[in-house]
Amino acid sequence: MIHMPKLCVNVDHIATVREARKTIEPDPLAGAMLAIEGGADGITVHLREDRRHIKDRDVLVLRQNLKGVIFTMEMAATEEMAEIAKKIKPDLITLVPEKRQELTTEGGLNVTDQKEHLKRYIEDLHKSNLVISIFINADTDQVKTAKEIDTDFVEIHTGPYAENPDVKELKKVTDAINFSNKIGLKTNAGHGLNYENTAPIVNIPGIKQLHIGHSVISRAVLVGIKQAVWEMKQILK
């Protein structure tokens, strides 16, 4: 029996629409609940340093109201975020790189260059019984270092594949996922995945969760979020 990855829907861009007018709608929690009705196995948010979309209150309200699904908080490896995570206690924390001027996360976290800092950071979060993932490029050296610093998961960055979904880029992602599983890391994947390029990723064995946001929310503008999530879930099936 082939294992189907869980679908974790990132609702950041519901908040992006809200912040365009600095109003109270649309509500990320309402969108998250509809996404779950559509078949989402989890909800993901990125609490950025500049709070450009998701706010602290959003994270708190989502944590309080989401039951029976995976609640993932993406964040930079800063002291501020560590303190917030310890209070919120999401089901999964994904450490990501972050630059203020970027439109979205531009690449994986360079674990080899920040090995000692990340090792201490993860040790501290583990003391609060938090489960940690690191968003990394499809590179076996990065995967190996992530294992050495005792992360629980890695999330393989599928952005380069999504931009150029050819055999070469798919092989990079496949090799990284295979290697991660081989050395005993739980493995997720995400970034840039949409209704056209996700199926080949689903066919790679050993992916626990796919984290998909922009394409689902974009589709939801046209057909509604329940339908958009349902359509993506069919691809995973």
Query: Does the pLDDT value for residue 95 go beyond 50?
Result: yes
In this structure, how many other beta carbons lie within 10 angstroms of the beta carbon of residue 48?
20
Active site residue 37: no
The reported pLDDT for the residue numbered 3 is 78
Average pLDDT (163-188) is 97
**Phi and psi for 20 in degrees, rounded to 5?**
-60, -30
Residue 2 banded pLDDT, cuts 50, 70, 90: low
The reported pLDDT for the residue numbered 104 is 54
Token representation of residue 208: 């626990």
With respect to residue 154, please indicate whether it lies within any of the assigned structural domains. yes
Q: Are 59 and 86 in contact (CB under 8 A)?
A: no
Range of the domain at 226: 6-236
Helix or strand holding residue 232 (H, E) = helix 225-236
The reported pLDDT for the residue numbered 234 is 97
Which bin fits 150, alpha (ψ -120 to 50), beta or left (φ > 0)? Answer: left
Token representation of residue 199: 């199926």
Query: Does the pLDDT value for residue 127 go beyond 70?
Result: yes
Catalytic entry in 13, 53, 157, 191? 191
Catalytic entry in 46, 53, 157, 211? 46
Active site residue 126: no
- The size of the chain, in residues, is 237
Catalytic entry in 13, 53, 74, 157? 74
Query: Does the pLDDT value for residue 121 go beyond 60?
Result: yes
With respect to residue 198, please indicate whether it lies within any of the assigned structural domains. yes
Q: pLDDT exceeding 90 applies to what percent of the chain? A: 94
With respect to residue 137, please indicate whether it lies within any of the assigned structural domains. yes
With respect to residue 105, please indicate whether it lies within any of the assigned structural domains. yes
pTM (predicted TM-score): 0.95
Q: Are 136 and 155 in contact (CB under 8 A)?
A: yes
Residue 101 banded pLDDT, cuts 50, 70, 90: low
With respect to residue 1, please indicate whether it lies within any of the assigned structural domains. no
Residue 114 banded pLDDT, cuts 50, 70, 90: very high
Active site residue 53: no
Average pLDDT (103-121) is 86
Token representation of residue 203: 């066919």
With respect to residue 213, please indicate whether it lies within any of the assigned structural domains. yes
3-state secondary structure of 98: coil
With respect to residue 189, please indicate whether it lies within any of the assigned structural domains. yes
3-state secondary structure of 137: coil
CATH number at residue 207: 3.20.20.70
Structural domains of the chain, count = 1
Compute CA 147 distance to the chain's CA centroid, rounded to the nearest angstrom: 18
Query: Does the pLDDT value for residue 1 go beyond 60?
Result: no
Average model confidence (pLDDT) across the chain: 95
With respect to residue 48, please indicate whether it lies within any of the assigned structural domains. yes
Q: pLDDT per residue over 50-62, tens digit each?
A: 999 999 999 999 9
